[in-house]
């Protein structure tokens, strides 16, 4: 793979856009691909509002497992490079579809989490959202008010959080460098982001060992793993 390093000083606003492939390299299972979670678990029983309303304990057990699995994995070189770029440039946004907090564990800040986080819960009765950073299962499954807490994750059929979407839209429509890493580009509205960046005039780069749905619209495509490509793309 022949990679030309990027001079970040040439760009005013940089966006990294990441998907499950970024974390897969750390060992976090994907949902759909080979060995994907939905081969073992039916999302209808574990990852939708209906499932949680019917059997919150079962849904919590599943998400406790996701937390424990995530904690067995660690950020890789690619995550570290993104943090280094953020520390070396005044305007770097990270928009992720991942819910595992791996970017934050690598020291990246202000991560826009499109699909929520397994490290937060919310009480729909009292209308609050809080971090639950217990190193393992969720610290609490119920609120002091007596209601069940709910993992703050966008499940199947959920609406995305409008404020989060707006932040992502703003960052992407104003960036002049857009680097997409480890996303197949099939989940919407995230799948529209490369087009948004392109139509805003950004230089668009894809890092993915396999073609994605949008590969043909990128200015440069690197067919390789995030942990190999990012240290070559960004020499700081």
Active site residues: 115
Interface with ligand NAD: number of residues (CB under 6 A): 29
Binding status of residue 104 toward ligand NAD by CB under 6 A: no
Binding status of residue 1 toward ligand NAD by CB under 6 A: no
Binding status of residue 19 toward ligand NAD by CB under 6 A: yes
Judge whether 41 and 204 are in contact, CB under 8 Å: no
* Residue closer to ligand NAD (CB basis): 20 or 171: 20
* Residue closer to ligand NAD (CB basis): 91 or 187: 187
**Site stretch for ligand NAD (CB under 6 A), options 21-29, 40-48, 82-90, 172-180:** 21-29
What is the four-CA torsion angle of 174, 177, 12, 111, rounded to 10 degrees? Answer: 70
Binding status of residue 111 toward ligand NAD by CB under 6 A: no
Residues from 131 through 190 that contact ligand NAD (CB under 6 A): 181-184, 186-187
Binding status of residue 115 toward ligand NAD by CB under 6 A: yes
Judge whether 205 and 219 are in contact, CB under 8 Å: yes
Of 209, 215, 217, 220, the one binding ligand NAD (CB under 6 A) is 209
Do the bridges between strand 111-113 and strand 116-123 make them parallel or antiparallel, or are there none, so unpaired? unpaired
- Counting Cβ atoms within 10 Å, is residue 30 exposed (0-12), middle (13-18) or buried (19+)? middle
| Least distance CB 88 / ligand NAD (angstroms) | 22
Binding status of residue 210 toward ligand NAD by CB under 6 A: yes
The footprint of ligand NAD (CB under 6 A) covers: 19-21, 23-25, 28, 30-33, 97-100, 115, 181-184, 186-187, 207-210, 212, 225-226
């Amino acid at each position: 793979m022949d990679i030309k390093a990027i001079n970040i000083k040439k760009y005013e606003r940089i966006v990294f856009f990441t998907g499950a492939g970024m974390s897969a390299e750390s060992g976090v299972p994907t949902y759909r691909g080979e060995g994907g979670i939905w081969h073992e678990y039916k999302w209808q029983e574990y990852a939708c509002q209906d499932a949680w309303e019917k059997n919150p304990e079962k849904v919590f057990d599943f998400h406790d497992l996701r937390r424990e699995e995530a904690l067995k994995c660690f950020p890789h070189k690619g995550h570290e490079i993104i943090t280094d770029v953020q520390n070396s440039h005044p305007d770097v946004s990270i928009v992720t579809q991942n819910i595992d907090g791996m970017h934050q564990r690598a020291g990246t800040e202000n991560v826009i989490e499109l699909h929520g986080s397994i490290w937060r819960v919310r009480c729909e009765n009292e209308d609050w959202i809080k971090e639950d950073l217990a190193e393992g299962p969720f610290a609490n499954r119920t609120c002091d008010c007596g209601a069940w807490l709910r993992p703050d994750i966008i499940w199947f059929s959920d609406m995305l959080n409008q404020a989060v979407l707006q932040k992502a839209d703003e960052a992407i429509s104003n960036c002049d460098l857009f680097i997409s890493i480890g996303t197949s580009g099939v989940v919407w509205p995230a799948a529209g982001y490369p087009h948004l960046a392109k139509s805003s005039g950004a230089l668009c780069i894809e890092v993915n060992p396999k073609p994605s749905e949008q590969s043909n619209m990128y200015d440069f495509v690197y067919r390789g793993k995030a942990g190999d490509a990012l240290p070559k793309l960004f020499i700081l």
